[in-house]
Amino acid sequence: MNNTLEDILIKMKKASVFLANASAEVKNKALERIAENLRNSSAKIFNENKKDIENAEKNKIAFPLLKRLNFDEKKLGVVIDGISSLVKLDDPVNKTITKTQIDDDMILKKITVPIGLIGVIFESRPDALIQIATLCLKSGNCVILKGGSEALYTNRILSKIIYDSITESDSVFMDTMHLIETRQDVKEILKYDRYINLIIPRGSNEFVKYIQDNSSIPVLGHAEGICHVYIDKYADIDKAVAIAFDAKTQYVAVCNAMETLLVHKDIAGVYLPKLKAELDKKNVVIKGDKLAKKILPDIEDAGEEDWRTEYLDYILSVKLVNDIDEAISHINHYGSAHTDSIVTENRENMDKFASFVDSASVMINCSTRFADGYIYGLGAEVGISTNKIHARGPVGLDGLIIYKYILEGSGNIVADYYEGEKKFKHKIL
């Protein structure tokens, strides 16, 4: 196992240098080939996905996971649209970020380059495999993919279609993508910091921490989404009902769905019954604090643990707050720094919420569900980062790019500047 996997990684590491220098035309042609072959192979894909669904139902997989696992015509259409959007985006590689004249005969450039070889471990969403693979291709990165075991058959056929498409398109794509399938495989790749430049784990905080604790490879954490919507005292009630309903129910099994609703106490008596009438249509279980239960006596009790829970289900915790400051404090304490929204007509409160909520995406008068790489115009995303490193929020092409410096001189030596009379110009060009 070790030798086999290491051999694969050695080949991928070598291939990463050539992929990094592939032209935009070559990469876009490969992306178009992927989209075409996915469309032509839809019946085979759906058949393999059916096997995964049947196995998941036999194993009584929870509904949110089952919904993520389903890969139908609609999801295929979305990922193909995403690939088309990706083709239209500028090539992010070899762009000059800055150019500095160090001296008359010395120019320093800072240019964008791919990260290299990336390992992405993601949940049971087959569409995520396509998004991740195509983003890595466009950004010039080799990728090791590990999806959820529940999507075994779907991941296999999707990865085969993608790999066959790109290698048929151009030989530069040989050894640039590899699918691993077991937990043991994950443990193995964590050892190979010599070859792998970055690990992107998508999942719970515990899972991300496990990866960080068991590898010296840099980790770009994509942790859970404990997302909030705060209904301000100055909110338009109808807007607030529609936004909260969408944030909770449009797709409950994703990380940007609302899990906790915060409501200003002064409008809760009017707002909560109206929202509950809508949530009841989707059979949402509401859990509330003592003040919320005075208005909605039939809802369940919400405790300390609920404020820290990512349900990924038709369950919502509700808390009443005295003012916007209490809402911000609650979000920054219990939230996962993912996505949080305010509904208000008060400009001062909009600005305050946007400035003081310490999350990767802050929404004003719109649903948390908009926090998405495709919606942001990034083509797609490899995940949503809650870190504060080179990439934050939906991680698209920019998040898969790093930079390097190129200094071009004409025989220059440092001694002339530190021991001689020459001076640095440091002029930005």
Residue type, 147: G
Q: How confident is the model at residue 387 (pLDDT cuts 50, 70, 90)?
A: confident
Nearest to 307 by CA among 288, 323, 284, 326: 288
DSSP class of residue 335 equals: S
Nearest to 122 by CA among 49, 207, 190, 58: 207
State residue 1's pLDDT score.
Answer: 42
Residue 267 reports pLDDT greater than 70 = yes
Tell me if the domain spanning 2-222+382-405 has CATH number 3.30.479.30: no
* 168, 409 Cβ separation under 8 angstroms: no
From its phi and psi, is residue 333 left (phi > 0), alpha (psi between -120 and 50) or beta? alpha
- Sheet holding 300-301: strands in order across? 300-301, 285-288, 315-321, 258-264, 227-231, 339-343, 361-364
| pLDDT tens digits for range 200-211 | 988 767 788 888
Comparing 17-21, 61-65, 161-165, 192-196, which segment has the lowest mean pLDDT?
61-65
State residue 206's pLDDT score.
Answer: 77
State residue 64's pLDDT score.
Answer: 74
State residue 365's pLDDT score.
Answer: 97
Residue 2 reports pLDDT greater than 70 = no
Mean pLDDT of 141-146: 97
Helix (H, G, I), strand (E, B) or coil at 286: strand
State residue 3's pLDDT score.
Answer: 57
Nearest to 151 by CA among 229, 263, 50, 247: 50
User: Exposed, middle or buried: residue 101 (CB in 10 Å: 0-12, 13-18, 19+)?
Assistant: middle
Beta pairing partners, 142:
117
Q: How confident is the model at residue 220 (pLDDT cuts 50, 70, 90)?
A: confident
* 72, 46 Cβ separation under 8 angstroms: yes
Paired sense of beta strands 177-180 and 106-114, if any = unpaired
Residue 118 reports pLDDT greater than 50 = yes
Global confidence as pTM: 0.82
* Lookup result for tokens 């450039």: 109
* CA 119 – CA 194 distance, rounded (Å): 13
Mean pLDDT of 37-58: 96
Q: How confident is the model at residue 222 (pLDDT cuts 50, 70, 90)?
A: low
Residues in the chain: 429
Looking at 130-268, which runs of residues are DSSP E strands? 142-146, 177-180, 198-201, 227-231, 258-264
Mean pLDDT of 80-103: 94
**Whole-number mean pLDDT of the chain?**
93
Task: Spell out the domain ranges in the chain.
Answer: 2-222+382-405, 227-370
Mean pLDDT of 149-170: 96
Question: What string of H, E and C letters represents the secondary structure of 42-108?
Answer: HHHHHHHHHHHHHHHHHCCCCHHHHHHHCCCHHHHHHHHHHHHHHHHCCCCCCCEEEEEEEECCEEE
Looking at domain 227-370, its CATH superfamily turns out to be Aldehyde Dehydrogenase; Chain A, domain 2 (3.40.309.10)
Q: How confident is the model at residue 68 (pLDDT cuts 50, 70, 90)?
A: confident
State residue 223's pLDDT score.
Answer: 63
**Token output for 328:** 């911000």
* CA 322 – CA 19 distance, rounded (Å): 55
State residue 244's pLDDT score.
Answer: 98
407 backbone dihedrals φ, ψ, rounded to 5°? -110, 115
DSSP class of residue 150 equals: G
State residue 243's pLDDT score.
Answer: 97
Mean pLDDT of 41-49: 97
The helix-helix angle for 347-356 and 324-334 (nearest 10°) equals 20
